[in-house]
Structure 1
Amino acid sequence: MVSDKLLNPGQVGRELAPMFGKAVGSWTITRWVVEGVALRDGGRLKLKAIRLPAGYRISMADVESFIAELTRDRTGERPALDAKGRAARADAELEQSGW
């Protein structure tokens, strides 16, 4: 992250303008950092950011990762899980099948 340029929420919103057709408001970006967005499984996905005295700073790599994860959630693709999540999913599938 050291080599990636850190932007404030307003700058991130302007960088996203070509993707959304217009600039995304800085408060929307801040809301993604603080509150996140609701996922279909009931969880929340938050945009990674660094909190400095002058406000949040966000890398575009983190924004791209956030949008990719949100897209996977909205399109129905199963998100990549860590070992604990895979084990929980396997346990649930076994229990559902009667094991």
Structure 2
Amino acid sequence: MRARKVWNGEHELRLTRLEYAVLEYLARRAGHIVTYQELWHEVWRHTSPLGEGEQRTVRQTIKRIRKKLGEDCGAPRFLYCVYNVGFRCAEDQVTLVE
């Protein structure tokens, strides 16, 4: 079984499975915009169209991840919001270890 750990500097973060899956998906696409629809289909595994309620679910999950990362929404370092489109993970802030 693969260990699922996220570190922010020297601090290990405690993420739920869903939060980890979202962060991993964004990190694997660092530098690229990931749409709400893409996250909804690929992480939540829903094939239904993305409505306002589903978009709110995605935003709330990102909000919890940002809080655990210690992100300042006014000056993000890791996760950037692309208004009404989705999110982008900063390339220079991510190191993936397999």
TM-score, structure 2 as length reference: 0.32
Q: Which fold has the larger relative contact order, with Cα–Cα distance below 8 Å and residues 6 or more apart in sequence?
A: 2
TM-score, structure 1 as length reference: 0.32
- Larger relative helix fraction: 1
